Structure formats: structure tokens, C-alpha cells
Amino acid sequence: MEPVISTRGLTKDYGSVVALADLTLDIGPGITGLVGANGAGKSTLIKILLGLVMPTSGSSQVLGLDVATESAEIRGRVGYLPEHDCLPPDVSASDFVVHLGMMSGLPRVAARERAAEVLRHVGLAEERYRPMGGYSTGMKQRAKLAQALAHDPRLVLLDEPTNGLDPAARDDMLGLVQRVGDDFGISVLVTSHLLGELERVSDHVVILDSGRLLRSSETREFLNATGTLLVEVLGQDAQARMGQALAAAGVPVHPRGGLLALDPDPDSPHDVHDLIRDTALDLGVGLVRIQADHRRIEDVFADG
Amino acid sequence: MADPVPSGGGRGPVSGAIYDLGYRPYDGPRNGLGAIAWALFVEGFRNAFGLGRSGRSKVLPFLLLGINLLPVVIIVGVLVFIHLDELPLGYAAYASRTQVLLSIFVAAQAPVLFSRDLRHGTIALYLARPLPSTAYAVARWASLLAATLVFLLTPILALYLGAVLGELDFGEQTAAALKAALLAVLLATGLTGISGLIASVSVRRGFAVVATIAVLLLGNGVVTAVQGISEEQSRPRIGEVAGLFSPYSLYRGAMGALTDERVLTPPTGGGLQAAYFGVMVALALVSLGALLVRYRRLAGR
């Protein structure tokens, strides 16, 4: 499939810092998480893609349009949610989204309809008629998302949409991001410095480290099962007794926190799940759970 | 985000029943840059009078507008009832007499158009949209210019209507009103450029207001003092040159050259008179140019 975003040797040298170093990247449709620590170059990449910052060298394309020569067309088809505050406090979300829809080229009547529609989708109901200065952080982020969607873009660039949100609001926002990508059919590039939250919503994860591409692959490749099983047991000295019994049965086992991590021989003819069940029954310990150990995106950093 | 109804099938035709509240893509027309810039201009013009903003922000502009028109009402009333054969205050002289009101108006409303977007970070949303930063700056400038012109031209128009209704000489009044309108345009471009530039470098509204009033009124005060002394000392040339250094003294000088109004040290000689008009135009162009440079820098940050 044709990439939504592609960069070739993209470099941005601010003199004192190199924000992006020779970045070559293809991002396809769907939801892509852009992960990196603060200062890894995420915001710089977004600003270059919008044509707001000139790269020192290299080229990039968005939606098949060249950033260097067609940035006005790109900005007409892309929505942007900036990282920092951008809402005037004395304007209602409704008026604000109508105005910004018009600034993206919608005629007034269409902008009104679209504003009502996207505000409903992001979950701002009656409060959309109130000045935004009185909004909670979660509502502000929703209003920011609404303005990014006002003109029905083909792609939205969301810079840290969960920034400053409490856990519940963060979950809501991630759910919204997922809906934008999956239900609205708009491609999403969403950044975060928290790796864990993007593995839930994105199809694809790109990891930047100091302006360099650390890794780019599908989310499920990061998360594929490692073959290790995690077992939790309950009872008097249960964990130690269970561990000894399993080791005696020939399964390599070591404790990991409150769990036992088993690395069964994948070629073994016996099902290790049966062995765990039978051992627990023999010892009289309570078997709480058996689960496959998935990798986490964080492990990519541990791997180096 | 508990949407009780399952969402529609995305970008394709939305299949499902009538209660399906899924996302609907927009397939309608999209405006070009010209229409977008016009929309920004109209919105800015409305905002300058507090329209489309909170109720409180309408108070100051309309109060100033009202006070500015109060003398017109009195003058026209007197004119009609006592049957004067000329206006007690000329069209062009009106702006000069009400310059304090005018200064407060532009000083208070320029930050609405130039500081607000910078202060609240909204500028990032404009810059991420199709309009280039320079077109944004021009649209903002045009909004403030139009608002300032409303402030300056409304009294002229009201006086003119009063004069015509009061059966003063039609041709004479029309010529004088048109001259005043031309002078008002020249004054407004300068005031817009200066106040816009100050507001665009100052994120804090209060600072912009104080700085603009200081530049406009203190500058005029100093120039007026110099002109007064030079006339007193019978060395008017000093005052005539000093008049080039403040928007209001430029306006008075140009008014002295163009009309019969009596002003302090009016410019004498074709060269100096031309210089007054030249400096007014240059002030407008240079300040607008500086605004464009300022926003180009902002965009490239």
C-alpha cells in the first residue's frame, strides 16, 4: 500500500542539537505510534511534515505530496493537534471549531455542520457552547482533537494527545484515537513518550531515539509471544514448593516477582499446561493463573 | 466516549440503519486561499468589536465608539436648530480632537487581533492550515485597519449627513468630507501598523496597550511641545520638521496642507508638504512589512 508519510534522509540540525539525523521512514495507512523520549525529534518531524520547519537536508512526502513544494495542499488535507495549549479561553468550542474549519477551507455552512459532527464524536455535548477557559484538561484535549478533524482530513498528526490527562481521561483519549483510525478511516500519526499506551491503539510503532530511527515495525511484532509461561499459585509457601516440583519434573523455572516463569522445551511431547495443573493438584496449592509472557515495547530498548 | 450506537463503516458508504451515527466524511467543496483569507479578515473584524467573543469584550469598543460619536450628535443638533452656515468642527479636525479615544481604541483592540493568538498558542493551529503566515498577517492587519476606519469614518459620515440635512453647501461639504476620508485612511494605516507591530511582539495584552498609547500619545505630546515652542520663537521650520515624527502630528500637518484648518506649524513649501504624505505612506508600508517579517519568523520557528 502507498505510504501516507515517507521521508528520505531527513536531517534537521539546529546547530546546538541535531533533532533528526538521516531519517528514512515509510509510514502506511492506519494508526502509527511515534515513540521517543522528550527531545527525540517527534515534534520536529511533525513540524517538518507540515512544512513549518525546513529540514537541513533530505526530503519528505505526505499523502504523496512533496513537503518542499506542496505544503499548502498538505496542510489542507492534514489535521494537527499540537502538544501545547492552543485554545483561546473566551471562545466556545463550537465557535472555535467552526472558525478553524473555515480556516481549512470549508464554506461557513459546511463548517457549522462539521463542527457539530466532530464535537459530538469527541464527546463534547452541551459544554461545547461554553467558553473553553472553563474546560478540564480532558475536555480541552477533546476540543483540540475536534479542530484537527474539522475539515475531514486524510491524515491527523497528534502530538502527545494524552499529555497531562489522568488515567481515565487518558483511556478515553486513546479510545478516541483508535476510533479515528479504525472507524473514521483517517490515518493517524500519534506521538507519546510513554511506550505502553501506544501498543494498545496503534497498528504500527516507530521508535525514535535522539533523532535516529531505532525501530519501525508492526505493533504485533513487538508483542509476539516469547514462549515463556507465567504461573501464579496461592497457598502456604506455594511458590517455592511449586517451583521445586516443576524443576524436579524437568521444566526450567525461575521466580519473577510473585510469579513463576517457565521456559518449557517447545519440542517436549507432553503439554506443560497439564503438568502445571497436575503438580498444583498434587501439592494442594491454588492455581490462580497461567498466562503467556508477551514482550512489551519497552523490551526493544532493553535489547539495545 | 460511550457511543451507544455502533459506528459506521468509515470512509466508504455508511451502511446500516437510519439511527447509525457513524462518522460521515465530507465530500463538499473546499475554498481556496482567497476565500480563507477573506473569512479570517471578517472574523478578525468582528472580533475587534468583541463580536463572536465574550459579552465583556464588547463593552470597551462599543463604549469608545459611542463616546466618539457623542460630539457629532451635539454638533449636528446645534447645526440643525441654530442654522449655522458652517460646521463648528471640520471633518478632518474631528479625528485630531478625539485622538485620545482613537488611541485607546487601537491600543486596546490591536492585541485582540495580534497578541491573543500568540499568547494562547492558537497561532500554531493557523500555521498548520493552508494560509501562509504572511497572508495571515495581512488578513489580521486588514481587520484592524477596517475596524480603525469604522472608528474614524463613522463620525465623518454622520457629520456629513448632518451638514447635508442642515442644508449647507453640498459641493463644498462633499469635497471637505472626501479630503477628511483620505486623511483618515492615511492615519489609520499608520496607527494599524504601529499598534499591530507592538501587539505582535508583546504576548501580554497590558504591555501592548500601555506601549501603544505611550508611543502614540507621548510621541505626539513631545512633538506638539516642540511645535509650540518653535512657533512661539518664530522659527516654524523646526516645528514643521518635528511634525514628521509622530502619526498624529503627521496627520495635522497633512490636514494643514490639504484643508483650511488652522494647525501648529503647518508644513510650508511643496517639498515638505509632499514629505508629510510620503512619510505617512512609508510608515504604513514599513510597519506592515515589519509585521510580515515578524510572522514569517514565527512560522519558521
Closest partner CB to A86 (pick from B7, B26, B120)? B120
3-state secondary structure of B178: helix
- Rg over alpha carbons for chain A, rounded to the nearest Å, is 24
Region of residue A211 (phi > 0: left; psi between -120 and 50: alpha; otherwise: beta): left
Is B108's pLDDT higher than 60?
A: yes
Distance from CA of A36 to the nearest CA of B (A): 21
Distance from CA of A73 to the nearest CA of B (A): 7
Tell the CATH superfamily of the A5-222 domain: P-loop containing nucleotide triphosphate hydrolases (3.40.50.300)
| Integer Cα distance of A159 and A192 in angstroms | 7
Domain boundaries, chain A: 5-222, 225-303
Q: Which residues of chain B are within 8 Å of residue A115 when distances are taken between CB atoms? A: none
Chain A residue with minimum CA distance to B34: A105
> Nearest to residue B251, comparing CAs of B203, B208, B201, B188?
B188
- Asked if CATH classification 3.30.70.20 holds for the domain at A225-303, the reply, yes or no, is no
- Give A 149-208 residues with CB within 8 A of chain B: 151-152, 172, 175-176, 179, 182-186
Q: Which residues of chain A are within 8 Å of residue B12 when distances are taken between CB atoms? A: 185
Candidate from A70-79, B262-271, B292-301 with smallest mean pLDDT: B292-301
ipTM over 0.90: no
| Integer Cα distance of B98 and B82 in angstroms | 24
Report the percentage of chain B scoring pLDDT > 90. Answer: 76
- Residue contact B128–A185, C-beta within 8 A: no
In this predicted model, what pLDDT tens digit does every residue of B55-104 receive, in sequence order? 888 999 999 999 999 999 999 888 888 888 888 889 999 999 999 999 99
In this predicted model, what pLDDT tens digit does every residue of B144-186 receive, in sequence order? 999 999 999 999 999 999 999 888 899 999 999 999 999 999 9
Q: Are B50 and B57 in contact (CB under 8 A)?
A: yes
**For chain B, what is the domain count?**
1
Cβ-Cβ contacts under 8 Å between A and B: the total is 121
pLDDT of residue B54: 78
- Residue contact B300–A179, C-beta within 8 A: no
Distance from CA of B189 to the nearest CA of A (A): 25
Q: Which residues of chain A are within 8 Å of residue B121 when distances are taken between CB atoms? A: 82, 84-87
- Give A 39-58 residues with CB within 8 A of chain B: 50, 52-54
Report yes or no: A104 at the B interface, CB cutoff 8 Å.
yes
Please, what is the average pLDDT of chain B?
A: 90
- Residue contact A91–B52, C-beta within 8 A: yes
Is residue B2 included in any domain, yes or no? no
Is residue B1 included in any domain, yes or no? no
Chain B residue with minimum CA distance to A47: B128
- Residue contact A105–B26, C-beta within 8 A: no
CA atoms within 13 A on the CB side of A248: 7
pLDDT of residue B12: 47
Cell of A231: 504461573
In this predicted model, what pLDDT tens digit does every residue of B116-146 receive, in sequence order? 999 999 999 999 999 999 999 999 999 999 9
pLDDT of residue A224: 62
Is residue B206 included in any domain, yes or no? yes
Q: Could you check whether A5-222 and A225-303 share the same CATH topology?
A: no
| Integer Cα distance of B288 and B282 in angstroms | 10
> pLDDT grade, residue B5 (50/70/90)?
very low
| Predicted confidence pLDDT, tens digits, chain A (304 residues) | 689 999 999 999 998 889 999 999 999 999 999 998 888 899 999 999 999 899 999 999 999 999 999 999 999 999 999 999 999 998 999 999 999 999 999 999 999 999 999 999 999 988 999 999 999 999 999 999 999 999 999 999 999 999 989 999 999 999 999 999 999 999 999 999 887 788 888 999 999 988 899 888 777 676 665 677 888 888 888 888 888 888 888 888 888 877 888 888 777 777 788 888 888 888 888 888 887 776 665 666 665 4
Domain containing B93: what range?
62-299
